[in-house]
Structure 1
Amino acid sequence: MQRWVAAAGGTFGAGGVNSGYTNSGAVEIPLAEAAKGDVLQRTNGGDNDWSFAHTVVVVANKGGGLYSIVQSNAPGYVNGTWRSDWAGLVTEVPDWRATTAPGAPAGWYWRAWRFGTVQSSALPPENTRFTRNGSGQQYLSMRGAALPINYNDAVAFDAEGNRSTGVYNGPLPPATLPNTTVIRPVGRPDQFLLVNGVRQPIGDPATSSCLVFAFNLPGVAVVPASWADTLPTGPQAACSLPDHTRFTETGSLAQYISIRGAALPLSYDDAVAYDSEGLRTYTQLPVGYVTNPIHAPSQIPENTMLRAVGSPSQYLYAAGALHAVDNPTLSSCLFALHPQNGLAVVPTNWTSSIPQGHAATCN
């Protein structure tokens, strides 16, 4: 950050995670108002706690909590190629959200800082219809895009209560919504997931809610139907909650946890143990998620590395059995042999139903 500020003609003074900004003349602004050149800093409020701190610079605020950013020492694109070997690299991410760090305890959040002033050319607020001087063409401001509205769209927006209008004469952005936006054409109940410019039909409310949660979206974007109907249609959308997300379904107290896409039921003791380990991420979904075959417990992938919540003992799940992993060297070998997203922490309510196999080996 010191080098970037210096390259822009400024000076970044001494200080900690937060005081470094105030000592350098930066002013904190609301996260939603961050614009090109502003700095976003992840912190837990402790000025000397760098354990999960991270810094990004905003390239564009696309609205709805979505940004285009540059950063260092984190996965992203370099010259159009995604780089996972990110150490020492400056990377860019065109569709980025200010989410909690993987593995970070509760209490970490993002602050936005501004050096100097920004000349505003922001679109009208989200969901605002607007025209331009000298033209009767209406547009909808949505997630940083300007979507054209025809007469039937306007009537449908009126019927749904969206009558807010304005005039905007700044730069008109493309009519392109960010990837992984969930949309609903105005006046209709059907929903879609946008993936690379293709709309994928969403078949049920549980999948819609899962997608909104998994992609950290501000909600379902209600868009002009005439615009949505120009998009090609792809395969049906599917969704699994992120690993270690606990959830219930509407009208039920039964709690589950998502592990590699499977919905595993929790006992009361499991819930207490997850709380003790800080794994408290929770959401509620409409009925239908658990009964979807793609979330059956049998969907736990072959060669998953796991441990039961509240226990340090590791196992390799293979051929329908648990195979004990006896030492850290063996664990490292198995992770190298079967790459995966870290160790799955599973409920004892599930492991108690799985037979024990022979001890794991790694060649």
Structure 2
Amino acid sequence: MSETIRDYQQKVDKTVRELGGYWRPLSGLARVIEELGELSELIMTSESDREELGGELADLFIITASVGNQYCTDLNEELSLMGYPIHIDELYHGISLINNKKEGLMKLIIRAGQIARILNHYEGDKKKKPTEKKRRLGEEIAKFNIDLIALANLNNIPLFTYVDQILDRDVVRDKNRFDITHDPTTEPSLDHFRELTKGTPYESLKKVWGSYEWDESLSLEKNLQNTLPTFQRFGKVGENEGLEALVLEIVGEEFISDEENRNKTIQRVLQFFHRYDPYIGQEPDVNDLGLHELTFRFHYYGLEFEWIPMVDQQTLFILFIPQYH
């Protein structure tokens, strides 16, 4: 059986990690617009070069797959939900939704607009209107790539052959070109958690974000401050994108030397995040925070989390599992 579109997502992820990590999502969106502009120039030229066209289409897959990876999008899952095949050979022969290049370009521009709308709600300054239709980033990225494949097929371009070529080129050309970046899908805390939970029920959790890399020279509160933006983003996008958990890694024997210290550490963690909960003072049941409770309410829309502590050597992990309604 041929490779799937999810396999290519994972190839993109591997290359991104080798090059230093993901850009911020809005920077990724800017790259989508940049590449759409270049694609438009090619398509508006009467005799566009097939090699150039294949390269631009491949760039757009790589960039949108990168943005999707940052929200744990599974393109196999998304395409299956829409009734499309997931294997590359079937996608080459089973997707023909457009009649000409300009129609294909217009579809991509429309899809990019929807992706931009969602990312602006998630990461930008535009607040979602109460009456606005619910949209998921994963679904819109999948739709974008279906139209991308259709445009490639129309021009007899084997899209994923070009994707392979560009990924192979970038690993060599762009090595050490970019700064190391932080993203909740590539943090060491997530890798450490995956290693710890092999062979346990928690291994089945696929859509998980990790806390900011721990710095043992900083206090507990300073480290939590580094992770706060991740927690806030999770609260904002988690339910819409189907994120399953956020794992917080705390490193240092002083935090877990015995049960009393471990409980005090957990208490400090919950109290820290509790201080930044905008619901405090708005609902009577929000202000009461204690270790006797297995859930606490934090940030957007009164989202509640179940928390589960795990200890491994000199590390305390706290797994926050959202209780979506």
Q: Same fold (TM over 0.5)?
A: no
Report the structure, 1 or 2, having the larger strand content: 1
- Identify which of structures 1 and 2 has the higher relative contact order when contacts are C-alpha pairs closer than 8 Å and 6+ apart: 2
Report the structure, 1 or 2, having the larger helix content: 2
* TM superposition score normalised by structure 2: 0.29
* TM superposition score normalised by structure 1: 0.27
Instruction: Give the number of the structure whose alpha-carbon radius of gyration is greater.
Output: 1
